[in-house]
Structure 1
Amino acid sequence: MSADVKGENQLYDDINITPMLDLAYVLLVIFIIMTTASVQGIKVKAPLTSAAVSLAKPQTRAITVTRDGQLFLDTFPVTLVQLQEGLANYKAANPALPVVLKGDVDAQYEMIMAALEICKKLDITEIGLVTKRAPQE
């Protein structure tokens, strides 16, 4: 009987950390999902159109021209020279490189044409222009 009493009152030498690790892993997964969901590229106000087509393809690169004429390749600010070098590297890895051009509705047309000229020089033929679907009347 004295052995049973001693076993019930014995202090633990270690702490069970499994529930704490489970919580940490759940929080890590939530953090990863929320972080990747919020990274969608550079925000621009796209022009409206009545015909919209999905341009979602694997390894698609995005060129963005903001209202003030700043260029971005995916989410990184670039100059025209850096844009050409970056696209050339991607084109070397994938000859059928798809590119989407997102221009703000108030963007400088000259910068959009310069980006298109770079794509033409690099023989990039799969180019899509990002627009918003106009409301149906």
Structure 2
Amino acid sequence: MSADVKSDNQPYDDINVTPMLDLAYVLLVVFIILTTASVQGVKVKSPTTHATSNLAKPQTRAITITADGAVYLDAYPVDMDQLRDTLAQYKAGNPALPVVLKADAAAQYDKVMQVLEVAKKLDITEIGLVTKRAAPE
């Protein structure tokens, strides 16, 4: 018998990693799907408008005001001081910070103005107001 031929009892020198990579990719895809499916905003009934615009930009922060006047920043409840501090941190990281304001149609106008004042004091100029598109007449 020659020394070049391996017998069946000798251990392998390499490991086939293809099945492990397949499993890793499947787990990654499942994780991405579950994560994006679980990200939910705060539901409010937006006012309607006939104008359309595309406000989708990277790193956009969403401020939501519910009908009872509760304020949320990216689906987390905040008061005005927390809103100011958190937006200031985001503004320091991104000087052109885009913000969208989504308020319930029944929300108090005073609360909307307070949020807009916070944005004005922080020199946030890219503010979009979220509305629902009205049905064509």
Normalised by the shorter chain, which TM-score bucket? 0.7 to 0.9
Specify the alignment match of 1:117 in structure 2.
117
Q: Report percent identity of matched pairs.
A: 70
Residue 53 of structure 1 corresponds to 53
Name the stretch that deviates more: 77-86 or 31-40.
31-40
Alignment check: 8 A CA contact 1:52 1:132 kept: no
Amino acid at match of 2:86: G
The aligned counterpart of 1:74 is 74
Structure with greater helix share of residues:
1
Alignment of 1:1-137 (within 5 A): 26=26, 29-137=29-137
Give the paired residue count: 127
Structure 1 spans left out of the alignment, 5+ residues: 1-17
Root-mean-square deviation (CA), in Å? 2.4
Secondary structure of the 1:42 match is coil
TM-score, normalised via structure 1 length: 0.79
CA distance 1:133–1:25, change in 2 (3 Å)? same
Q: 1:49-108 CA deviation, whole Å, 9 max, x = no partner? A: 000211000111111001110001111100000000000000111111100000001111
Equivalent residue letter for 1:66: T
- Answer yes or no: is the 8 Å Cα contact 1:62–1:74 preserved in 2: yes
What is the match of residue 12 of structure 1?
none
The residue number in structure 2 matching 1:9 is none
Which amino acid in the other structure matches residue 121 of structure 2?
Answer: K
Distance of 1:96 and 1:131 partners within structure 2:
22
Mapped contact 1:44–1:104 kept (Cα < 8 A):
yes
User: What 5-or-longer segments of structure 2 have no aligned partner?
Assistant: 1-17
Q: 3-state SS of the aligned residue for 2:64?
A: strand
